[in-house]
């Protein structure tokens, strides 16, 4: 499929993707298929989901104006990003399992919606010196009508600060361009628009932080990249354990003389034909070889492979194996989880870069299409409230914040927000309400 995609890019937009883009798209397509495979145990999904939970649970983002107050522009960006953040765990899991996900904002009836697209559906044609995408072609949507499938492609090209966005449609089977009028909602799309004063395309890219071990890292790789042989060994070990249990199923031995003329046994496997041939007279009928080492060796190998898999991915124990918690102090538990925390920190950096780019994209589109009052470009600030319980003790953090608040080094609203999970503005409003409605100290003491 990626070959057709490259041909459409050249035919519709006049761009010739490099051979490297073609190879990257082929690998990205293979990564996506592996992640979406449900026919066997999927370690990409297991690690992706576990790390996504650790990276995003009990965490939030906050968008305010540049001066710390709310504005029409910051409120608009906050609404769009809040909707995307609500499904951030699923998005992060997919990005870690597939290697990367594009977050593409589009405008429908004056509102911006963010679509999530797998990286194998996007050709990253060019980056600038900062690593930002300045030339990109996406398969934005696939529609079917009868037995025919149609794809809507969007091309972004940035040249000297001017962005050109072109939208075209193509028949998947014929490979021929078709009019956007083929679907009513496609017909409302402006085929070509330009936006000036931008420095990157209005698309965010959430890339898995796992290194691809190559010089060019435009595309991401799955979190288990490089551990393919360990995955094979784990699956082989599982098959061996399953075979061992199958071989040890109980059965009833029946001499062939007990069978009828048709020589048949029930198909359940409970009965098996036994040819004694005098064994009952000359010696033991059953010769059993079933040492305990068979069970222990299988499971020891399984646990060792799981541990090696965790090390290969770059995490601590606790995803495939049991975490080390017995007779361990809080400090020792933190140290034992340090590798996982480092991986989580890298994932959060990728999320921060992704949502900063997404906020920038929403800001650019809101200004270009007049979705909020004009002249507010850049009037927003994004802050992140990450959960640190994986590495920190909540009691220790509370004690530290309380000490800072008692010394007047931080606002009380910040301490209250940390405890309640509210924003600082919400916490300050509650503090002001309590102070306004609480009786003064003199009244409590009964003094005039």
The tally of CA atoms less than 13 A away on the side-chain side of residue 153 is 26
The tokens for 274 are 């036994």
CB 52 within 8 A of CB 96: yes
For the segment 375-409, what is each residue's pLDDT rounded down to a tens digit?
889 999 999 988 877 666 667 777 888 888 888 88
- pTM score, whole prediction: 0.81
CB 210 within 8 A of CB 95: no
The yes-or-no verdict on residue 287 having pLDDT over 60 is: no
3-state secondary structure 46-83: HHHHHHHHHHHCCCEEEEECCCCCCCHHHHHHHHHHHH
CB 222 within 8 A of CB 192: no
Specify the 3-state DSSP secondary structure of 11.
helix
Per DSSP, helices labelled H in 279-376 are 279-282, 293-313, 330-336, 338-368
The tokens for 351 are 């999320």
Average pLDDT over residues 363-367: 95
Q: Cα separation of 225 and 291, whole Å? A: 37
DSSP 8-state symbol, 223: T
**For the chain, how long is the longest CA-to-CA vector?**
112
Specify the 3-state DSSP secondary structure of 361.
helix
Q: Cα separation of 165 and 366, whole Å? A: 15
CA-wise closest residue to 119 among 14, 222, 13, 223: 222
CB atoms within 10 A of CB 83: 13
The yes-or-no verdict on residue 159 having pLDDT over 90 is: yes
- DSSP H or E segment with residue 89: helix 88-98
List the single range of 223-237, 252-266, 422-436 with lowest mean pLDDT. 252-266
Q: What angle is formed at CA 426 by the lines to CA 422 and CA 427, rounded to 5 degrees?
A: 75
Give the pLDDT score at 246.
75
Q: Which residues contact 72 (CB under 8 A, 6 or more apart)?
A: 372, 373, 376
CB 310 within 8 A of CB 316: yes
For the segment 234-269, what is each residue's pLDDT rounded down to a tens digit?
999 999 888 877 777 666 666 665 565 566 666 666
Q: Cα separation of 198 and 200, whole Å? A: 6
Give the pLDDT score at 407.
87
CB atoms within 10 A of CB 248: 10
Give the pLDDT score at 231.
96
The yes-or-no verdict on residue 280 having pLDDT over 90 is: no
Q: Cα separation of 226 and 154, whole Å? A: 33
> Which residues partner with 248 through β-bridges?
none
Give the pLDDT score at 413.
86
CB atoms within 10 A of CB 96: 33
The yes-or-no verdict on residue 357 having pLDDT over 90 is: yes
Locus of tokens 């435009």 = 218
The yes-or-no verdict on residue 273 having pLDDT over 90 is: no
């Amino acid at each position: 499929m990626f070959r057709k995609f490259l041909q459409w890019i050249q035919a519709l937009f006049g761009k010739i993707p490099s051979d490297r883009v073609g190879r990257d798209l082929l690998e990205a397509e293979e990564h996506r298929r592996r992640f979406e495979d449900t026919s066997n145990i999927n370690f990409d999904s297991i690690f992706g989901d576990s790390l996504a939970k650790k990276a995003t649970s009990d965490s939030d983002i906050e968008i305010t104006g540049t001066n710390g107050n709310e504005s029409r522009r910051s409120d608009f960006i906050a609404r769009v990003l809040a909707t995307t953040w609500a499904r951030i765990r699923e998005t992060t899991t997919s990005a870690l399992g597939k290697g990367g996900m594009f977050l593409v904002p589009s405008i429908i009836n004056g509102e911006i919606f963010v679509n999530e697209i797998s990286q194998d559906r996007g050709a990253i044609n060019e980056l600038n010196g900062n690593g930002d995408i300045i030339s990109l072609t996406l398969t934005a949507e696939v529609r079917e009508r009868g037995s025919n499938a149609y794809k809507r492609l969007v091309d972004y090209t940035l040249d000297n600060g001017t962005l050109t966005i072109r939208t075209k449609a193509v028949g998947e089977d014929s490979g021929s361009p078709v009019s956007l009028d083929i679907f009513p909602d496609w017909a409302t799309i402006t085929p070509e628009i330009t936006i000036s004063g931008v420095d990157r395309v209005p698309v965010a890219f959430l890339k898995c932080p796992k290194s691809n071990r190559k010089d060019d890292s435009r595309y991401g790789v799955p979190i288990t990249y490089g551990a393919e042989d360990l995955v094979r060994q784990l699956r082989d070990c599982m098959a061996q354990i399953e075979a061992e249990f199958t071989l040890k199923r109980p059965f009833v031995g029946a001499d062939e003389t007990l069978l009828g003329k048709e020589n048949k046994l029930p198909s359940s496997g409970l009965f098996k034909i036994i040819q004694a041939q005098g064994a009952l007279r000359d010696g033991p009928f059953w010769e059993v070889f079933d040492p305990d080492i068979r069970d222990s060796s299988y499971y020891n190998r399984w646990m060792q492979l799981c541990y090696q898999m965790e090390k290969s991915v770059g995490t601590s124990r606790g995803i495939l194996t049991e975490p080390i918690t017995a007779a361990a102090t809080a400090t020792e538990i933190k140290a034992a989880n340090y590798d996982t925390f480092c991986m989580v920190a890298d994932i959060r950096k990728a999320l921060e870069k992704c949502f900063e780019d997404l906020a920038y994209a929403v800001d650019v589109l809101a200004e270009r299409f007049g979705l909020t009052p004009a002249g507010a470009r850049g009037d927003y600030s994004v802050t992140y409230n990450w959960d640190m319980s994986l590495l920190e003790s909540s009691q220790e953090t509370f004690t530290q914040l309380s000490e800072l608040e008692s010394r007047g080094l931080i606002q009380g609203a910040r301490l209250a927000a940390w405890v309640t999970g509210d924003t600082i503005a919400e916490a300050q409003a509650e503090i002001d309400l309590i102070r306004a409605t609480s009786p003064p100290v003199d009244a409590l003491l009964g003094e005039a």
